[in-house]
Structure 1
Amino acid sequence: MTSGNITEAEQAVLDEIEAKDVDFLRLQFTDILGTVKNVSVPARQAEKAFTEGIYFDGSSIEGFVRIQESDMRLVPDPETFAILPWRRKEDSAAARMICDVYDTTTGEPFEGDPRYVLKQAIERANDMGYTVNAAPEPEFFLFEEDEEGRATTETNDAGGYFDLAPKDLASDVRRDIIYGLEDMGFEVEASHHEVAEGQHEINFEYDDALTTADNVATFRTVVRAIAAQHDYHATFMPKPIPKVNGSGMHTHISLFTEDGENAFHDESDEFDLSDEARAFTAGVLEHAPAITAVANPTVNSYKRLVPGYEAPVYVAWSDRNRSSLIRKPAARVPAASRIELRSPDPSCNPYLAIAVMIHAGLDGIERDLECPDPVRENIYEFDEQKREEYGIDTLPSNLGDAIEALEDDEVVYDALGEHVAPKFIEAKSQEFEEYLIDVSQWELDRYLETF
């Protein structure tokens, strides 16, 4: 039974708040740089949040608005309601909902809200007759904390890829993270120790693009919170330790038609890829340099994107090896046909990263771009001459080059929108400039006593 302007979904949330003795709600949103923000309100404010929204000062959020345009309104999405497993007590609980941000002046969705940017990409796909599904594979490191509770870069194990205990000493932490994720509605498919010491991966089920982006934001919060309960620091920094594999967030993506068929599947094709899938792939390859600015948005991201550590740096696709930017994974059933973009890392804003992937791929379909042949050899073993012979370009080698590629790419720039694109470029250009004028410990160790 609903009351007033409350929808059935909203009423279901209000009923659950009462049944589960929820006393506080975290209303969550994400800033342009991908940092999760939240406004905490008493649970009794839930109905007001649904009907009126909760107001906050947008000028205090990175890249949102200027001080004279500061009033923003959060409107919670009832489909994202979840109890926070690490905040549950005997007599009460806390919960969160992910919100859309609205401009109080116009009453319209705020163009600087990354969730809105992704919704616009999804709407473009819907207008073309497609729904978008995606699945990320976020990796992270678990580090010891020092006596004052600050993060170190000391790993707690000596495990390697798919190792078991006793080498994988963090298996209990991963177990508790998985339980926490499942409590929040995740369908976890697998978890394992990754290649580097202290590195882990947890994969969750394929879902629609918006739910997937919401899940990535939630995932990072859950991992950090539960790791902290075990006195570990979880980091999604792409390359926290030199000379070992960095953390990626390989992202699988596919399009489905309005009748529920996988638009990427064609069993008559050698690789089971449809014309749409090939054109989509071609679009992502063409716009890959600009996508990199969004999918690999930190100076540190480019310490991962180097040859020799299993991260893709070459703009090509393959059905069988992992040295290319895009891989076509084997699919047991038609619904599983998809492509895997291997460059993104978990420091990215998931809403913006998935949005630019969608727009790039749809641009390929709209323009009917021709997909190059797959490269089945190990590109890491190619010399420069052979890469030129195959027509294989490389991704930007640093954040500055990636930002320049974004500025020059009309499709990816427009995908971010006239609010987000310039704000994002401004913030990341400043970050790169600060990096260029900094003096690292490596430089001091190498040069201070030499010259």
Structure 2
Amino acid sequence: MTSFAEKSGIHDAAREAALAHTAGLIDASGLELVRFVWCDVHGVLRSKTLVASAAADAMRDGVGLVSTLLLKDTSDRTAFKVFEPGGAAELPGFEFASNVMLLADPTSFKQLPWTQSTGWLRAQPYMQDGTPVELDTRRVLQRALERLAAAGYGLKCGLEVEFHIYKIEDRQAQLDPEQAAWPGLPPRVSMVHPGYNLLADGWYDMAEEPMRIVQRTAQALGLPLLSLEIELGPSQVEAVFNATDALTAADNMVLFRNAVKQALLRAGYHATFMCRPPFPNIMSSGWHLHQSLVDLKTGANAFKR
């Protein structure tokens, strides 16, 4: 019987070998759960968590995902009226919130370092007929890189990521069912360093506990972390990564942001990658996205004079 991965045209002998290798790792590691994770149009990771014994079949036959997750605004409300006649006329295949299918890349497997017995796989959505979902953000980048490659070039990127870390002091209001709202209330937080002293070693020492969590999480996931730094803003920090090809850099950024937020939260910290947290006298966060074009034939930097 033809699997959904075969129907989608992505399954070959190499993928089957990678799938068998990953299934073996899942079994040998004694994992109980595997998260099939996909990055939405706003950079938020969504996942379905399967029991470990179901992972191999899911890598072949896909995991169903409601298609409205591709149509959300930043408040997580569906932006298209998919249940009304003509509401999804410009989006064939999305009518009435029909499912898309997630297919995971077996070579993306990670064992999560901040939780027990849990694996992680990066996935991308496909329509039910096996065609790729072109609204998928990773697919958009892949298509752009294909056009660039047709012109003879590759893109290399180096990430410098600014973000804020806060210590959670009180989550009562955030988790109080009487105050549940859309969006909900934030926790009460305090800073991990007072800021206004760029690269101050004393401020780094003050913030070392959460910074160590960032370091250990990134390295345990195999991310090419180079340095951790105290930024100018209050409670603002920066992580610097070695340069990679553009698709790997994008994958690394998505994984890093999600992993850091989850690992820090378990230790009582809140990490935010929003540009400007809602506090007075704060410094906005951005990033330095170092870019260079690479000649695919020679490997030379096309930006170099």
TM-score tier (shorter): 0.7 to 0.9
**1:18 pairs with one of 23, 27, 47:** 27
- CA–CA separation in structure 2 for the residues paired with 1:251 and 1:72: 32
- Larger of the two Rg values belongs to structure: 1
Letter in 2 for 1:122: L
Compared CA separation, residues 260 and 81, structure 1 to 2 (3 A): farther
Residue by residue, what CA displacement relative to the aligned partner does 1:306-336 show, whole Å, maximum 9, x if unpaired? xxxxxxxxxxxxxxxxxxxxxxxxxxxxxxx
**Superposed displacement of residue 124, structure 1:** 0.6
**1:143 pairs with one of 166, 186, 200:** 166
Q: Is the 2:166–2:235 contact (alpha carbons within 8 Å) kept by the matching residues of 1?
A: yes
CA RMSD of the aligned region, Å?
A: 2.1
The answer as to 2:181 corresponding to 1:158 is no
Compared CA separation, residues 29 and 167, structure 1 to 2 (3 A): closer
**1:251 pairs with one of 289, 292, 296:** 289
The answer as to 2:123 corresponding to 1:75 is no
The answer as to 2:163 corresponding to 1:131 is no
Larger proportion of helix: 1
SS in 2 for 1:244: coil
Q: Is the 1:56–1:73 contact (alpha carbons within 8 Å) kept by the matching residues of 2?
A: yes
SS in 1 for 2:138: helix
Q: What is the number of equivalent residue pairs in this alignment?
A: 259
SS in 2 for 1:133: strand
**Superposed displacement of residue 117, structure 1:** 0.6
- CA–CA separation in structure 2 for the residues paired with 1:44 and 1:36: 23
SS in 2 for 1:262: coil
Q: Is the 1:143–1:232 contact (alpha carbons within 8 Å) kept by the matching residues of 2?
A: yes
Larger proportion of strand: 2
Q: Is the 2:170–2:189 contact (alpha carbons within 8 Å) kept by the matching residues of 1?
A: no
The answer as to 2:231 corresponding to 1:213 is no
Q: Is the 2:169–2:190 contact (alpha carbons within 8 Å) kept by the matching residues of 1?
A: no
1:270 paired residue number: none
Residue by residue, what CA displacement relative to the aligned partner does 1:248-287 show, whole Å, maximum 9, x if unpaired? 1211111212235233244xxxxxx3xxxxxxxxxxxxxx
1:56 paired residue number: 65
- CA–CA separation in structure 1 for the residues paired with 2:249 and 2:203: 33
**Superposed displacement of residue 242, structure 1:** 3.4
- CA–CA separation in structure 1 for the residues paired with 2:249 and 2:187: 28
- CA–CA separation in structure 2 for the residues paired with 1:28 and 1:217: 11
**Superposed displacement of residue 61, structure 1:** 4.4
Q: Is the 1:33–1:62 contact (alpha carbons within 8 Å) kept by the matching residues of 2?
A: no
**Superposed displacement of residue 222, structure 1:** 1.4
The answer as to 2:99 corresponding to 1:99 is no
What is the TM-score of this pair, normalised by structure 2? 0.78
Which stretches in structure 2 are left out of the alignment for 5+ residues? 1-11, 73-77, 79-90, 173-185
- CA–CA separation in structure 1 for the residues paired with 2:282 and 2:171: 27
**Superposed displacement of residue 167, structure 1:** 6.0
Q: Taking every aligned residue pair, what percent have the same amino acid on both sides? A: 26
1:174 paired residue number: 211
2:52 paired residue number: 43
Which stretches in structure 1 are left out of the alignment for 5+ residues? 267-272, 274-451
